[in-house]
Structure 1
Amino acid sequence: MTDDQHDVPVPDESGADDLDDDAGIRRSRAEIDAMVERLWSAAQAHQGRLEAMHERVSRLEAREDGDTERLARWLAFPPPPAAEDPEHEGETPLFTIAHFVHYYNEVYTGRPGSRAHAIPDCWLDHPGLLAEIATLTYTWRAAHLGKHANPRDAQHWHDRWRPAFADRLATEWTHPHCLTDIHKPVGTSGLKDRYTIEQ
């Protein structure tokens, strides 16, 4: 076979005024052009509506994502101030963590002799303690604030994260003097947290 045997004849429509559509109805070039124009106009109108809807949905999602003030129904006390709150914009996460430490000490300190100790004032001097308080703070916020907060996560925080933290607070991160009297260095020291370095 040669290339000439594979040529498919193409009809010459340059002079044709009428064309058949898929249903076999003959349409003039002018009718087809008018139909295409109407379809194009309709598509442009729909495109404008779609863009307006996307913009509106984006605004609603941004408003919901920024809604850190949405309190869970099971949260008994007002949440501590945080850098993520609009009125504290510009603060670092250390602001959030420090306020959470105060909140934790007000709410979660147990009876004398229990493992539910208050977080000592020297918490910034214990790098491991600061690292754990940071995650404890933000897991608490995720479980209690915003549109994704749910009671299952809140209960998990109280049942798992807080007690495990309380154990490590007393046994791993601090010296017993830190919990009862004044700071006494123990473990690693001299590390600067990134929040302080960035200021």
Structure 2
Amino acid sequence: MNDDEDIPVPAPSEDPAGPPQRRTRDELDAMVETLWTQMQSQQAHIDRLQQRITALEDDQDHNPRLARWLPFAAPPAAEDKQHRDETPLFTIAHFVRYYNETYVGKPGSRAVAIPDCWLNHPALLAELATLTYTWRAAHIGKNASPRDAQYWHDRWRAGFAERLTTEWTHPHCLTDGHKPAGAPSRPDRFTNEQ
């Protein structure tokens, strides 16, 4: 076959059983050139979209998306870009403050403030860690969902409030200051021992 020879190419509207339409080499080259130009244009568009997706993902890593239903700003966390040098204790401490500003109930209810001595109660610290991070998972990031947020309020927070006053602290801690109760205070893995 040489460059001047016609090559049979069925036209889209032709009957496949009918005689094939013949294209010249020049026509085929022009078609290939047109397709190549279109493909390059589409590839450039795909590249721009991919760059935008990458930028959005990076932005979400550095500035996690807050749930639409969250009425207050999220407490600072070690997972935030500007606090990456901090430990999870930083996250927990800010969550404790957020919790005390948001979830304290009416007098006499079990929704009491987390006492300032929370670091001196190992079981309380352990539960606060999971409470903090389940709250974050339910309210921050692309996987946050109102269903998880409501579950957190209905199950995690309510159970925690019950245990806070009945298991993890002495009643004195909730009103007058720390009094040892339960397991003795112990160092955590984030604090340097002196």
TM above 0.5, yes or no, is yes
Does structure 1 residue 37 correspond to structure 2 residue 66? no
Deviations 1:13-68 (A, max 9, x none): 35872211124122223332332232122212211111112212332344356444
Deviations 1:70-112 (A, max 9, x none): 464552x554333344543432322121011122233333455
Q: Secondary structure at the match of 2:7?
A: strand
**Residue number in structure 2 paired with 1:81:** 76
* Contact 2:76–2:94 (8 Å) recurs in 1: yes
* Contact 1:68–1:84 (8 Å) recurs in 2: no
Does structure 1 residue 46 correspond to structure 2 residue 42? yes
| Structure 2 gaps, min length 5 | 12-19
Hey, what's the Cα distance between the residues in 2 that align with 1:63 and 1:146? 11
Question: Of residues 68, 81, 90 in structure 2, which corresponds to 1:95?
Answer: 90
Does structure 1 residue 18 correspond to structure 2 residue 6? yes
Deviations 1:107-151 (A, max 9, x none): 333455432333233322333322221222233334445566555
**Residue number in structure 1 paired with 2:16:** none
* Contact 1:177–1:184 (8 Å) recurs in 2: no
* Contact 2:63–2:81 (8 Å) recurs in 1: no
Point out the more displaced range, 97-106 or 151-160: 151-160
Does structure 1 residue 173 correspond to structure 2 residue 181? no
* Contact 2:65–2:142 (8 Å) recurs in 1: no
**Residue number in structure 1 paired with 2:116:** 121
**Which one has a bigger Cα radius of gyration?**
1
Aligned-residue RMSD, C-alpha: 3.3
Hey, what's the Cα distance between the residues in 1 that align with 2:69 and 2:99? 19
Hey, what's the Cα distance between the residues in 2 that align with 1:18 and 1:196? 81
Instruction: Report the number of matched residues.
Output: 183
Q: TM-score, normalised by structure 1?
A: 0.70
Point out the more displaced range, 87-96 or 174-183: 174-183
Q: TM-score, normalised by structure 2?
A: 0.71
- The AA in structure 2 aligned to 1:81 is P
Hey, what's the Cα distance between the residues in 2 that align with 1:39 and 1:159? 58
Classify 1:14/1:68 alpha carbon distance in 2 versus 1 (closer, same or farther; 3 Å). Answer: closer
Distance apart, 1:165 and its partner CA: 0.2
Map 1:67-78; keep pairs closer than 5 Å. Answer: 67-68=63-64, 70=66, 72=68, 75=71, 77-78=72-73
Distance apart, 1:157 and its partner CA: 2.8
Once the two structures are aligned, what percentage of the paired residues are identical? 56
- The AA in structure 2 aligned to 1:192 is D
* Contact 1:117–1:166 (8 Å) recurs in 2: yes
Point out the more displaced range, 40-49 or 151-160: 151-160
| Structure 1 gaps, min length 5 | 1-12
